[in-house]
Amino acid sequence: MRKIVSLLTVLMLFCASVYAQTRTVTGKVVDEKGVPIPFATVTVKGTKNGTSADASGNFSLDVKGGNTLVVSSTGFQTKEIGIQGQSQVNVQLAGSANLIDEVIVTAGGIKARRKEIGTANSVVKAESLTAGKAVNVAGGLQGKVAGLQINATGGGVNPSFRVILRGQRSLTGNNQALLVLDNVIVPNEVLGNLNPDDVEEVVVLNGAGAAALYGSQASNGAIIVTTKKGKRGVTSVGLSQTTTVESVAFFPKIQKQFGAGGSGYGVDVNAKPTFSYLENQSYGPAFDGTMQPLGPPLEDGTQDSALYQYNDGHFKFWEKGLTQQSDVNFSSGDDNSTFYMSGQYVGVTGTTPGDKYNRAAFRLNGTRKVGEKVNITYTAGYTQNRYDITTQTGSMYANMLNMPSNGDITRYQNWRTDPFANPIGYYNPWYQNPYFTADNYRSNQRNDYLLGNIEIRFMPIKGLDLVARQGITTRNLSNKNTVAEFKFTDYAKHTDASSKSDISGSVSDGSSFRTQLISDLFAQYNTKISDFTLSLIAGGQWTNQSAKDVGVSANGLVVPDLFNVRNGVGTPGASEANYKARQVGAYGDLRIGYKGYLYLHGTGRNDWVSILAPENRSFFYPSVDLSLIATDAIATLKESNTISYLKLRGGWSKVGQVNLRGTYGAYQLLPTFSSTAYGFPYGSLAGYTVDNSLVSNNLKPEITKGYEAGFDLNLFKDRFTSNFTYFDTKTDDQTVSTRVSSTTGFTSLTTNTGQTQSRGIEATAHVTPIRNRDWSFTIGGNYTYLDNKVNSISTDLPKLSLATYGTDGPGSYAVANQVFPVIMGFDYQRDPQGHVIVDAISGLPTKSDTISILGNATPKHRLGIDGLLKFKNLSFSFLFDYRGGYQVYNSMGPELDWSGTGYRTAVYNRQRFVFPNSVYWDGSKYVANTDITVKNGNGNNGFWSDGINRDITSNYVTSGDFWKLREISLAYDFPASILSKTKVIKGARISVQARNLFMWMAKDNYYTDPEYSDAGSDSNGIGLTGIGQTPPSRYYGATVSVKF
């Protein structure tokens, strides 16, 4: 990395010295009202010489061999200015006819003016995307687009994100938005392996409109990412450095009054529970500040001890993370070609002790014009990331929670040298030292991504483009998981209630690749016939996917800490799997425009997929949409001073998506036999078992049909902009793997059944109340209302488990006629009025026999509020994100209550209490309970650690509502007037920014970030959080960037 930087510095100095001999022109680019236009392109006409203005519109250009500047910027008309002898020039650009005439990249890489598009779309520009300096592009998009829900589903050094547009359609299949990078479909994980600084813009197509050109995966909407290209006549080098600190933003709420022990050890003369020097559960007596022993004496007679008082080690356990992000880019261009290259290195240490991650990314993009008729575009990105993390985040967290706060947790960090921290001498016989857990169970993972595409556009005659495009995405990964051997002394194994037992070493090694090749070939023909414009596209797409996974493992190592499978005891485990899938699509796309204000657009596509049976392999799907620019079509509106723009739009589409399990859904149709379930081979003897999955012999794609309608409305010369969309889609023929009675010989049956529905509103509005020479202020937001539900599953399957804790246990379920998904779990037995029924003697409630619906897991309301305030060269932006109207099951709750650190466990001061809002049966009726207290108000043999508390899911189902200050940033751009004196530096910016700086959660949520998903980012079983996710973090840091 360092080498490249110095190389570029040399290159930059060389360039500078060439231009230094000529005169310098400085100036400012402003709009009709004098408001600066940021980042306008300024070139000297007829030369390769140029620059771009800074964020405040200031530019400084060394002019040589020409006297005319060409100034251009998106949304404005290009202007040429003569500069005879001038060294200072201010340029005023007239707005384009309308901002909405802006050209964006839509499906298939086809550029379209936004006004022509009849379906909802949003554009996020580079500046907005990187305002918070998120390492992951998904993080940078959070809260910015109506209809787009991005959840960071876990913590850690490289959090995973789940990206959903317009709710979930498929019950058990893929619901994540299609990701398209430079016109080529790429897997979602690429979002986290892309340098956000390489992104020029992100276009979000909320509906299924892109499906004709991208194929059925776009039924989930599409996120179209375009990376930067060099600009004609502008050569620049950019360097930037960002340092970000990560710290835990929210801790589970814990009780601070009681330490180790519990009523299981009996009670003292005052009926207080007894202290235990061994106990992991914090159900002992109230803290009294005395010195108390911890654990049994060690073999050498020494004994650990601590003051019996509250200690905030549970919070100090998590460390401050640090992210260093270094960027360099170079871009250049002339009349025939452009060139962009960049490099980025990100180094991360996380909040979990010892966890590390780094990512290096390189990109090379370019265009080349060959003669008048051929344009070539190429992009190539290479990213490698490296993880060095613990595999046991959940156990580590649980072990940490099971340390009563009378011990100072951070004191146990040096387990290799400190005898009390060492597992042998560690005081607790049942739970490991969490620092040891983190250190002893490790995973190293390496991922290398190569993303590239080449496009040749041949324009043989006017109006006709022939385009051939080849894209490749390939990922190579290898990982190694290790468990170090640990041997306990006999003394440690057999002293007191020890359950310490030797940990045998193990190692597993895996390696895989995933390669996707996509070829596109299409023709586009544009023509104009009197008042009509016609644009016709016809083409085909070939997709080839292949993958291979190989894994080996050994349990038990001959030489400790030699992590080589060859060093294993016994027969090593080994596995291999290969996958291949192919898809061919043929499509047509026709757009007819009338007088520039009415556009009718229709698409059709037929797919053939290898993963379905021949008779179901081919399926067709059409779409149609209409766009009317009322402000152009209707004379009275055209004249209006209030309404500057009004577009009415609507569309209908049908898309089929094949959702089969496994990699690419390949090989799911044929029954197979497996050999490993019962340990085969036995010596050299083969044994096979019939696989447990049945597949319907008539599997079909899932079909999503839906419509959307809306409008875009701008007022007061675009000082107010807004758009509104209503959508309603239904998805039929859900591919569902239902469970079947094992008496069939199988346990699951994959078949098409059921319907989901997603409908809602997406609205965006922004207003710019102030815009003048020095000041501008824009504020606005986006709002999404989502009604996502399951209409039916099948007659004999009223509910379908998506992600559960235990078979048929609490979890996230799809249930007919309910929100998709709902949280189900155990509740207390209740009387018809909903009061909890308690026993008339013990005061104890009872658990419900079956699970019931306890909440809906999909936020009904989402709101993003963003603002941008600019004063001269200072700009300040913020983004708030709200979600509401949903619940979440916090599965860490039972662990917190088990350990006795849970806040709930001390709300009655560990005394007997009357179960709130309860009734008891007096023999003939239910009577309100005012005086029957639960028989043991403590834990460790009392109420709180008992199943009657912990097994009741509803105790831990809380509101998921939150507000987050998602991003806040303050940036200063050095004015061109200062920079021009350096002759070298064209732009410089310093900024401070923060992400997720504050979060405000529902009062009853004592646990963690409801954005998390314990089921992972690929599961539709949302609404569950757990102990596998570290506490949510805030990120804050500073950036210096310089442009030469």
Partner 1 sequence: MKIRLQQYIKYFIPLLVLGACKRNMTDLNHNPKVATTVQGEMLFTNAEKAFADVMTTPNVNTGIFELISQYWAETTYPQESQYDLGNRDIPLNWWNVLYRDVIQDFNQSINLMRQQQTDPTLLPEQKVAYTNKIAIAKVFRAYAFSALVNTFGDIPYTEALQGRENTTPKYDDQKTVYYALLDTIDAAIQEMDPSGTGFGNADLIYGDPDLHLTGEQQISKWIKFANSIKLKLGMIIADSDPSKAASIVEAAAPNVFTSNEDNALLPYTTTPPNVNPIWTNLVQSGRNDFVAANTIVDTMNARNDPRREFFFTDAAGSGKFIGGVYGAGNAFKNFSHPSDKVEAADFPAILMDYAEVELLLAEGAARGMNVGGTAEEHYNKGVTASIEFWGGTAADAAAYLAMPVNKYSAANWKKSIGVQAWINYYTRGFDAWVEQRRLDYPQLKAPPAAVTAYPVRYTYPSTEENLNPNYAEAATAIGGDEVTTKLFWDKF
Sites for partner 1 among residues 562-601 (CB under 8 A)? 569-571, 576-578, 580-582, 584, 586
How far is it, in rounded angstroms, from Cα 889 to Cα 811?
8
Q: Which DSSP category does 628 fall into? A: E
**Shortest gap between Cβ of 497 and partner 1 (angstroms)?**
7
**Shortest gap between Cβ of 209 and partner 1 (angstroms)?**
22
Two tokens, residue 231 = 């600009």
How far is it, in rounded angstroms, from Cα 138 to Cα 1005?
25
Please identify, using beta-carbon distances, which residue of 430 and 876 lies nearer to partner 1: 430
Please identify, using beta-carbon distances, which residue of 77 and 672 lies nearer to partner 1: 672
**315: enclosing H helix or E strand:** helix 313-316
Two tokens, residue 687 = 């044994």
Please identify, using beta-carbon distances, which residue of 667 and 724 lies nearer to partner 1: 667
Please identify, using beta-carbon distances, which residue of 181 and 695 lies nearer to partner 1: 695
Please identify, using beta-carbon distances, which residue of 545 and 890 lies nearer to partner 1: 545
How far is it, in rounded angstroms, from Cα 823 to Cα 888?
7
Helix/strand/coil for 947: helix
Please identify, using beta-carbon distances, which residue of 89 and 260 lies nearer to partner 1: 260
Name residues contacting partner 1, limited to 622-641 (CB under 8 A). none
Alpha helices, DSSP H only, in 577-650? 630-633, 635-639
Name residues contacting partner 1, limited to 127-156 (CB under 8 A). none
Please identify, using beta-carbon distances, which residue of 831 and 951 lies nearer to partner 1: 951
Q: Do 513 and 448 form a contact (C-beta atoms < 8 A)?
A: no
Name residues contacting partner 1, limited to 925-954 (CB under 8 A). none
| Part in contact with partner 1 (CB under 8 A); list of ranges 23-31, 538-546, 767-775, 776-784 | 538-546
**Shortest gap between Cβ of 338 and partner 1 (angstroms)?**
28
Two tokens, residue 456 = 């040749």
Please identify, using beta-carbon distances, which residue of 11 and 948 lies nearer to partner 1: 948
**Shortest gap between Cβ of 796 and partner 1 (angstroms)?**
7
Please identify, using beta-carbon distances, which residue of 18 and 677 lies nearer to partner 1: 677
**Shortest gap between Cβ of 653 and partner 1 (angstroms)?**
22
Name residues contacting partner 1, limited to 723-752 (CB under 8 A). 739-747, 749
Name residues contacting partner 1, limited to 799-818 (CB under 8 A). 806-808
* 889: β partners: 957, 1024
* Residue located via tokens 């192919």: 582
**Shortest gap between Cβ of 433 and partner 1 (angstroms)?**
17
Judged by CB under 8 A, which of 112, 538, 765, 853 binds partner 1? 538
Q: Do 513 and 477 form a contact (C-beta atoms < 8 A)?
A: yes
Name residues contacting partner 1, limited to 875-914 (CB under 8 A). none
**Shortest gap between Cβ of 811 and partner 1 (angstroms)?**
14
Name residues contacting partner 1, limited to 964-993 (CB under 8 A). none
**Shortest gap between Cβ of 23 and partner 1 (angstroms)?**
49
Q: How many residues does the chain have?
A: 1044
Cα Rg, the chain, nearest whole Å: 32
Name residues contacting partner 1, limited to 417-476 (CB under 8 A). 460-461, 464, 466
Q: Do 471 and 511 form a contact (C-beta atoms < 8 A)?
A: no
User: Residues 807-823, buried b or exposed e (16+ Cβ, 10 A)?
Assistant: eeebbbbbbbebbbbbb
Please identify, using beta-carbon distances, which residue of 85 and 683 lies nearer to partner 1: 683
Please identify, using beta-carbon distances, which residue of 113 and 548 lies nearer to partner 1: 548
Judged by CB under 8 A, which of 315, 339, 608, 903 binds partner 1? 608
Please identify, using beta-carbon distances, which residue of 87 and 675 lies nearer to partner 1: 675
Q: Do 1024 and 979 form a contact (C-beta atoms < 8 A)?
A: no
DSSP string, 410-439: GGGS-TTT-TTTSTTT-S-SSS--HHHHHH
How far is it, in rounded angstroms, from Cα 11 to Cα 238?
12
Two tokens, residue 99 = 């901002």
Please identify, using beta-carbon distances, which residue of 450 and 521 lies nearer to partner 1: 521
How far is it, in rounded angstroms, from Cα 972 to Cα 873?
6
Helix crossing, 393-401 with 892-899: angle to 10°?
30
* 552: β partners: 509, 574
Considering CB under 8 A, how many residues would be counted as binding partner 1? Answer: 74
How far is it, in rounded angstroms, from Cα 1031 to Cα 263?
31
**887: enclosing H helix or E strand:** strand 887-890
**Shortest gap between Cβ of 923 and partner 1 (angstroms)?**
25
**Shortest gap between Cβ of 754 and partner 1 (angstroms)?**
16
Please identify, using beta-carbon distances, which residue of 41 and 541 lies nearer to partner 1: 541
Going by C-alpha positions, the residue among 455, 512, 479, 227 that lies closest to residue 344 is: 227
**Shortest gap between Cβ of 485 and partner 1 (angstroms)?**
12
Binding of partner 1 by 829 (CB under 8 A):
no
Please identify, using beta-carbon distances, which residue of 503 and 517 lies nearer to partner 1: 503
Name residues contacting partner 1, limited to 186-245 (CB under 8 A). none
Which positions from 651 to 690 touch partner 1 by CB under 8 A, shown as an x/- string? ---------------xx-xxxxxxx-xxxx-xx-xxxxxx
Binding of partner 1 by 617 (CB under 8 A):
yes
Q: Are strands 887-890 and 1024-1025 parallel, antiparallel or unpaired?
A: parallel
Name residues contacting partner 1, limited to 81-110 (CB under 8 A). none
**Shortest gap between Cβ of 614 and partner 1 (angstroms)?**
6
Q: How many C-beta atoms surround the C-beta of residue 271 within 10 A? A: 8
How far is it, in rounded angstroms, from Cα 907 to Cα 257?
11
**Shortest gap between Cβ of 466 and partner 1 (angstroms)?**
7
Name residues contacting partner 1, limited to 761-800 (CB under 8 A). 796
- Phi, then psi, of 832 in degrees rounded to 5: -60, -25
Q: Do 373 and 459 form a contact (C-beta atoms < 8 A)?
A: yes
**Shortest gap between Cβ of 359 and partner 1 (angstroms)?**
32
Name residues contacting partner 1, limited to 478-537 (CB under 8 A). 494, 497, 499, 501-504, 521, 523, 525
CA distances from 994 to 150, 155, 159 (A): 18, 17, 17
Two tokens, residue 694 = 């049945």
How far is it, in rounded angstroms, from Cα 733 to Cα 217?
16
CA distances from 138 to 132, 154, 185, 1009 (A): 12, 13, 16, 17
**Shortest gap between Cβ of 747 and partner 1 (angstroms)?**
6
**Shortest gap between Cβ of 499 and partner 1 (angstroms)?**
6
Name residues contacting partner 1, limited to 685-714 (CB under 8 A). 685-690, 692, 694, 696-697
Please identify, using beta-carbon distances, which residue of 641 and 741 lies nearer to partner 1: 741
Q: Do 675 and 687 form a contact (C-beta atoms < 8 A)?
A: yes
* 51: β partners: 42
Name residues contacting partner 1, limited to 541-560 (CB under 8 A). 555
**Shortest gap between Cβ of 690 and partner 1 (angstroms)?**
5
Please identify, using beta-carbon distances, which residue of 680 and 963 lies nearer to partner 1: 680
Name residues contacting partner 1, limited to 60-79 (CB under 8 A). none
**Shortest gap between Cβ of 577 and partner 1 (angstroms)?**
5
Question: How far apart are the two ends of the chain, measured CA to CA in Å?
Answer: 19
Please identify, using beta-carbon distances, which residue of 87 and 697 lies nearer to partner 1: 697
Q: Are strands 41-44 and 50-52 parallel, antiparallel or unpaired?
A: antiparallel
